[in-house]
Structure 1
């Protein structure tokens, strides 16, 4: 079977519908726009690769330094696991590596909700109607159909000793799973007023 050629013949350009249009039939302004877009995209691709290389090498440098510090001094840098803050000797610059985790609830959340519903049904005749409102809000989903993790976890701060409630709170905690994580590098410079301002590394900034 012969393959269909994807090469564009000389003197033609392919439009958005895939049709070949003779260049001499294309308006000059459309040619100029096409050239400008292609030039910007080429520069953006080069810049994107440079940023990706920078992030990759910087992550490696930070990992190596953390290992070196732990080896020499037994020190742990940063706060939470995975998060590291490095500051220059004069305090002017700060480099932050942060790890953002994407968490979801597994099927045990349904068991927790069932236990909570049992409690609410039993308490509904009493004076705890505000708790039902709080729980209904906690389990509401957003426009994308996602649960608000912080709202659900906030239920664990309620001082309720009912064994079913305690089991539900345990199920909530155990059902939360980390399914993905993303690392970020943020670099800051301190100004004359002592504030750390981020160095913009994205086009939007």
Structure 2
């Protein structure tokens, strides 16, 4: 196989966190390169206050994801993140952080995404904060990305917007309505994968990729 997997996601999407082991498994199957494309679903106009109703909805959804995938959503996350009414539900900062990684060490972007997800859903850390995100990148040894994030310039913000625009164009092209969305391409041919398999049967997702 010589294929590219376009992974459309949002760093604050619980279902994307649930799909993380399956996405890693696809890469381990060999012959697949990965292009991460944040959609901006929960940033900009998609950001919203974290009120009681939304927090309750999110926790209910998170518990369903945990039952399906085994991915952990901790009480620290529930108390510190969902319980904090001062926070916004805004993936903009984390999206910019990942773009900084894509510009400096692109091969480590998936690792950075998984670290951001773990920091939020397991450690209960505030990944809406640029300072927290920069510290997280430095802890991973991604110092150049952390420096870019600490002082966002036109290059970083422009690259971030371009990635989101490309993701949104692919979603329109394939009629995708949410994230995660997985699109596999080989040469000029591209097709949408059934990402539901990422939760219940990751092996089925690998079979789809191999057959594409």
Q: Which of the five TM-score ranges fits, normalised by the shorter chain?
A: under 0.3
Q: Which has the higher contact order (CA 8 A, sep 6+)?
A: 2
Q: Which has the larger radius of gyration?
A: 1
TM-score (norm 2): 0.20
Return the structure number with greater helix share: 2
